[in-house]
């Protein structure tokens, strides 16, 4: 996995400091991870209902295809950094 440098000034955007920008990106990465995990769980839950041994070979191939598809996607942290770099994320502090 190659290392890609990130321009901190570009990532910082309108945030007051770099640490705040990193915190915003970390929270967004958690949101993305939760969304992807729920989506993957929904897709794979269809296969848990099928238990017959004849269909098991077909199911395993389909499960493997879906799993590989999700493994090849960018990781949530990388997606978060790309989103932050393209546009300024909205965030609000809870009071």
Query: First and final CA of the chain: distance in angstroms?
Result: 40
For the chain, give every domain's residue range: 8-83
Rounded distance between C-alpha atoms, residue 15 and residue 11, angstroms: 9
pTM (two decimals): 0.75
Q: What's the distance, CA 41 to chain centroid?
A: 14
Task: Give the pLDDT of residue 86.
Answer: 80
CA 41 vs CA 33, 56, 69, 79, 91: distances in Å: 12, 18, 13, 20, 28
Are the beta carbons of 26 and 80 closer than 8 angstroms? yes
Task: Give the pLDDT of residue 46.
Answer: 76
Residue 84: pLDDT over 80:
yes
**Interval 14-70: pLDDT, tens:** 777 888 888 888 999 999 999 999 998 888 887 766 555 555 555 577 788 888 898
On the CB side of 61, CA atoms within 13 Å amount to: 4
Residue 80: pLDDT over 80:
yes
Q: How many CB atoms lie within 10 A of CB 41?
A: 10
Task: Give the pLDDT of residue 56.
Answer: 54
């Amino acid at each position: 996995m190659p290392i890609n440098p990130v321009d901190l000034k570009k990532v910082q955007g309108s945030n007051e400091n770099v640490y705040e920008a990193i915190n915003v990106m970390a929270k967004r990465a958690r949101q993305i991870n939760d969304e992807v995990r729920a989506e993957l769980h929904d897709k794979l839950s269809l296969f848990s209902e099928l238990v017959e041994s004849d269909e098991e070979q077909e199911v395993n191939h389909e499960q493997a295809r879906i799993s590989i598809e999700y493994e090849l996607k960018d990781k949530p942290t990388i997606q978060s950094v790309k989103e932050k770099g393209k546009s300024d994320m909205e965030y609000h502090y809870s009071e």
